[in-house]
Amino acid sequence: MSRGLLFSAGAAALLLSSPAAVFAEEGGEAVRTAPVEVDSVVVLSAAEALPGELLNGKAKLGIQGDRSVMDIPYSQMSLTAKTLELFHDPSLPLGNVLQNNPSIRSSTSSPMYSDFSVRGVNMNGNHMMLNGIPSLFSQFTTPPSHVIERIDITSGPNAGVNGVSMSNNGTDSGATPAPGTINVVTKSAPNVDVNRVTGTFSGRGNVGAYVDVARRFGEDKAWGLRVNGEHLKGELSLPGAENNSVNLFANLDHRSERSATNLFAGYFDLRINGGQRWFTFSGTGAKLPTAPDAKTNYDFPETTKLMYGYVVALNHEQRLTDRWSLFANYGAMEKQGYKYNSSSALRFNDAGAFVTSNVSNAQVEATENQYAQIGLRGRFDTGPVKHSVALAVDYSLAKYWNDTNNSATGLIGGGLYSGVAYGARFYPLPARRAAVLQWNEKNTGVTLSDVVSLGKVDVLLAASQKNENFLNALNGQRIENDNILPTYGVTYRVSPTISIYAGHTESFSRGAMVGNDARYVNRGLVLAPMKATQDEVGLKVMRGGMLTTLAVFDMDQQNLIDVVVSPTTFRREADGKNRYRGAEVSTVGRLTDRVTVTVGGLYLDAEREKTNGGAADGKFVNGASKWSGTAGLEYRLIDAVGLVGRAVYNGEAFIDSGTNGRTEIPSFVAFDVGANYRATVASRPIRLSAMVFNATNQSYWMGRGGSTTFGLSMPRTLMLSVQADF
């Protein structure tokens, strides 16, 4: 791990010694340090909070840098740290707060995973960027919430504007995500000192301690350092499940009139005990059996998943003239760990009895990712036409090691309502062995974009040429291809508060690699390349402290299925494509002086096309609900006291099963309620809050976009927190 860390530290020293960059800030936590005039993709850029402070008014437009959300030709929502503060429990998956965006639904309640769906397509931590840098997280690891200043959520066509990312950046280990990307911006030091401690209590005994210390120093406070640490340990509301997390991160930045530099780096150690809650259905019923009590634990006692490592993100922008600047990004991540669990989702019949043959699984894995980008950004005019251009060159390298050792196959007994019974053949647990290199991948790319402005019209033209070089280390198979990913869009500003837009994007990358799992008869093979497209038209209105966005979209993505070969084996295959058409609407902002709301809904018509022999053409996409929505509220009774509420709705979805070829996953509505209190004690501010997630203690199934597997909800969870500044 030391090589990447030393490289980053050395590069940071060189960049930070250059003439320094400018950040403008008015002091306090609500205003972010940000470069003046230079809209930067690489440094922590302006995040001007909209009324109500649940959203930012600017978000990332790829290598073009930060732009007003009114000027971006696709659906974009930038969540603030306040949104996390109000609606998130740090012991639960980050998807819990992401679903404030109407296009996102959480696919899991367990912190053992990070899965969520965007417009019906399953995604996870692999799809998250850190300060504009891709491929630093995974299905298990996501950015910890206590380091996040904002989350830019793109649920629209932007594949060709960000530069080149790894083709393993997907839950299917192949596709660049069709529905969009999620960029996390980390906290940096504000102009005022921060000395903050926070304590949390959640579930049945999960206790968290957090420190947040920030200083600006040097001439004109050009240097800033912010340190965030977490120690989280104890049992979740699900009996027997634990979230144990220790991490420490530092954000160092330097600013002056000519350049801006930011270095974020840290170490994490994450261990989740229990909490594996994936299921499949083998019955014939038209609807899944009633969900069991969400408190039921289906793990064997040794179920665990551990991952530790480091993350580095280095960003720099050097201003050459008033119109031109150079920028550079570098990122590195190394992690390793292991897990003990059952190797597949638990399969049950119409009566809820488990009928699956299963094994205990010892898996050891490690990952190394590096990413580098250098580019030029500038502005020029051709007559009355204004151009904002950006050119970037990218390089990425990824390696993945894995070994899976299974016990003898045995039948799991018990059922949904009585609990699981693991037979004697489950033990002794298999030994952990040394991980073996599975694959390595090198990508290079060039991205060019131009925002052409004439009067009230902005036209975005962008394309990435991506060269992939993938080596399957299991069988020596090498895959090389060159792809061009075009993106274009147009925005028309009807007025300063109203804009209409349209956009298109395409992505193309190597096919999924079938995991080295004994369940797959074609394990280790790489499937055919994958292509995805997306089109969107929309309307954005900023009125009276409220931002309203309406988007209509049409996108597709390759469909992957598991074909049953025997009761215990499958063949992973591509089967046509899934097509997603729908409409999305959201309204967020300050409704009155004391009421802030976030409301949104999604209509999704998802069906399969061009399947093998047309056998499944027109059929539903597994796990994708037609209707879903979120409604959240903060009401300040008085300045010191606030009430919080949220409802999350997921409509019925279907999976391939049953006598008619489909089984319904029932709809659900989950409610979260809470309150917070602000006070000053001995001239020091404190904040007390209480939140109850799944307040009605419902037990419900959670669909997973594009998959026949599904999850089970977490039981009612109480979270208490106290925050004090010194």
Please tell me the predicted confidence (pLDDT) of residue 243: 96
Omega within 30 of 0 (cis) for the link into 428: yes
What is the per-residue pLDDT across 665-706, written as a single tens digit (0 to 9) for each?
Answer: 999 999 999 999 999 988 889 999 999 999 999 999 999 988
Q: Which of 21, 17, 30, 9 is nearest to 222 (CA)?
A: 21
Asked which of 77-81, 408-412, 464-468, 542-546 is least confident by mean pLDDT, the reply is 408-412
Q: How confident is residue 516, by pLDDT bands cut at 50, 70 and 90?
A: low
First-to-last CA distance in the chain?
A: 35
Asked which of 205-214, 471-480, 661-670 is least confident by mean pLDDT, the reply is 471-480
Two tokens, residue 437: 């290199």
Please tell me the predicted confidence (pLDDT) of residue 33: 35
**β-pairing verdict for 668-681 and 684-693:** antiparallel
Two tokens, residue 633: 């509220």
Please tell me the predicted confidence (pLDDT) of residue 46: 39
Question: Given phi > 0 = left and psi -120 to 50 = alpha, else beta, which region is 426?
Answer: alpha
Q: Report the amino acid identity of residue 327.
A: F
- Which 8-state DSSP code applies to residue 95? H
Q: Which residue has the tokens 């639904």?
A: 105
Per-residue pLDDT averaged across 541-560, rounded? 90
What is the Cα–Cα distance from 651 to 629, expressed in whole angstroms?
9
Please tell me the predicted confidence (pLDDT) of residue 168: 55
Sorted by where each begins, the domain ranges of the chain are 2-725
Q: How confident is residue 5, by pLDDT bands cut at 50, 70 and 90?
A: very low
Asked which of 11-25, 143-157, 218-232, 371-385 is least confident by mean pLDDT, the reply is 11-25
Q: Which of 158, 155, 126 is nearest to 143 (CA)?
A: 126
For the chain, helix (H) and strand (E) counts, in that order, are: 3, 41
Percentage above 70 pLDDT, the chain: 90
Asked which of 6-15, 209-218, 611-620, 654-663 is least confident by mean pLDDT, the reply is 6-15
Q: Which of 531, 529, 515, 369 is nearest to 443 (CA)?
A: 369
Q: Is the pLDDT of residue 41 over 60?
A: no
Per-residue pLDDT averaged across 41-69, rounded? 76
Distance of CA 170 to the CA centre of its chain: 11
Q: How confident is residue 407, by pLDDT bands cut at 50, 70 and 90?
A: confident
Strands (DSSP E) found in 407-497: 410-411, 413-415, 419-421, 436-454, 457-472, 477-495
Computed over every residue of the chain, the mean pLDDT equals: 87
Q: Is the pLDDT of residue 29 over 50?
A: no
Per-residue pLDDT averaged across 532-551, rounded? 93
SS3 state of residue 648: strand
Please tell me the predicted confidence (pLDDT) of residue 521: 87
What is the per-residue pLDDT across 615-672, written as a single tens digit (0 to 9) for each?
Answer: 788 899 999 999 999 999 999 999 999 999 999 999 999 999 877 789 999 999 999 9
Per CATH, the number for 2-725 is 2.40.170.20
Q: Is the pLDDT of residue 458 over 90?
A: yes
What is the Cα–Cα distance from 420 to 293, expressed in whole angstroms?
13
Name every residue whose Cβ is closer than 8 Å to that of residue 256 and which is 6 or more positions away in sequence: 19, 20, 21, 22, 220, 222
For the chain, the helix, strand and coil percentages under 3-state DSSP, each to the nearest 5: 5, 55, 35
Asked which of 83-87, 167-171, 585-589 is least confident by mean pLDDT, the reply is 167-171
Q: Is the pLDDT of residue 266 over 60?
A: yes
What is the Cα–Cα distance from 625 to 701, expressed in whole angstroms?
12
pTM, entire model: 0.88
SS3 state of residue 10: helix
What is the Cα–Cα distance from 654 to 707, expressed in whole angstroms?
10
Q: How confident is residue 10, by pLDDT bands cut at 50, 70 and 90?
A: very low
| Phi and psi torsions of 662, nearest 5° | -155, 145
Q: Which of 700, 642, 641 is nearest to 666 (CA)?
A: 700
User: Between the ranges 323-337, 509-523, 600-614, 616-630, where is the mean pLDDT highest?
Assistant: 323-337
Name every residue whose Cβ is closer than 8 Å to that of residue 219 and which is 6 or more positions away in sequence: none
Q: Are 316 and 375 in contact (CB under 8 A)?
A: no
SS3 state of residue 108: coil
